[in-house]
Structure 1
Amino acid sequence: MKRYGYSIFCDDIRNEVGGKLSFIGCYNSAIFVSHDFPCVLSKFCIHTYVVTAAEQPFRSLSLRCYVPGRRDPILDERIETLNVPAQRKLVSELEPGFVAPRHIVASASLILSPLDIVSPGLISVRAVIDGEAEELGLGSLRVVVAE
């Protein structure tokens, strides 16, 4: 199985009763800003998911967020993962008759408050897996001026 992931871009992420998440003001393919650049969004959120096969656990995982007009990531956040033996132990200690999971999913909410955007372009998120061994695109959102 090839690793994959995706992101939800929105105005806010709320933790609800029972461990549920609510995504408020979700964007589709673009965010339209009503003024010239540079502009500041008081709050911008990204919820990411990264999926791998259970037999290919993560050794390390970091998320990087890029914005238009900046070459370096504005965020480089390490996501804590269990060490490989601990991930495998979880699967081996399942109760008899319980079907072992086929995938491991890592998720994280990124809250950018405020978010400075200096030009039109793409806000994008990438996962860096197992050091620098693999870099995986998790999605992007186009920033445009509304006319």
Structure 2
Amino acid sequence: MSVDTRSVYATFCDDIRFEAGNKISLIGVYDNEMLVQNIPTLLPKLGIVVVTIAPISKPIHRLRIEVRFEDQVLDAAEADLSPGVGEKLATHNEDGLPFRGRMNKAVFLFSPLPVTKKGVIRVHAFADGEELLSNGLFVRQAALQSPQDPAVSKA
């Protein structure tokens, strides 16, 4: 399997911990939705790991990543990924096996993060000017359950 298009994916979680051995632990990973008790609310922490992938034939040279809540930019980062003068991007790893694609990773940590309305937190990546949209995290208020609600257990 080879990589033939540029793409971006975001993992949303409650916390990110950096550990020995070049590892990170993601705590409380969300699927595609975050339910909060009240809106507005203040999230104590939100972590986002962003991964961009590009084919060997179309490497990313300039990357800008924006984390947005609806239309509001919460944070942004830029990186120059071009090889230096006289360098070439490697196409094989140290064992001689061909790369299937190039991966870049960025970590964002918000502490605290105010949420004033329901909406979607989404990563927008700009790879050499080409916009790539990630999956999103839909933030909404959890439905209140009344005592008559059959989903509420009776003691």
Fold match (TM-score > 0.5): yes
Aligned-residue sequence identity (percent) comes to 30
CA gap of 1:57–1:88, structure 2 versus 1, over 3 A, is farther
Map of 2:101 onto structure 1: 103
The structure with more helix, counted as a fraction of residues: 1
Map of 2:30 onto structure 1: 27
SS class of match (2:57): coil
Contact 1:64/1:76 (<8 A) preserved: yes
Map of 2:88 onto structure 1: 89
Q: TM-score, normalised by structure 2?
A: 0.81
Map of 2:151 onto structure 1: none
Map of 2:68 onto structure 1: 66
Whole-Å Cα distance in 2 between the matches of residues 86 and 32 of structure 1? 49
Structure 1 unaligned regions, length at least 5 = none
Map of 1:139 onto structure 2: 135
Structure 1 residue 94: deviation in Å? 6.1
Whole-Å Cα distance in 2 between the matches of residues 57 and 16 of structure 1? 29
Whole-Å Cα distance in 2 between the matches of residues 92 and 117 of structure 1? 43
Contact 2:63/2:81 (<8 A) preserved: no
Deviating above 3 A after TM superposition, structure 1's stretches of 4 or more consecutive aligned residues are: 84-88, 92-95
Whole-Å Cα distance in 1 between the matches of residues 59 and 86 of structure 2? 7
- Residue deviations 1:66-120, cap 9 Å, x none? 114xx23111211x3431467962416866x612312110111110111111101
Contact 1:5/1:51 (<8 A) preserved: yes
Structure 2 unaligned regions, length at least 5 = 144-155
Map of 2:76 onto structure 1: 76
CA gap of 1:40–1:5, structure 2 versus 1, over 3 A, is same
User: Which amino acid in structure 2 is aligned with residue 116 of structure 1?
Assistant: P
Q: TM-score, normalised by structure 1?
A: 0.85
- Larger-Rg structure: 2
SS class of match (1:102): coil
SS class of match (2:90): helix
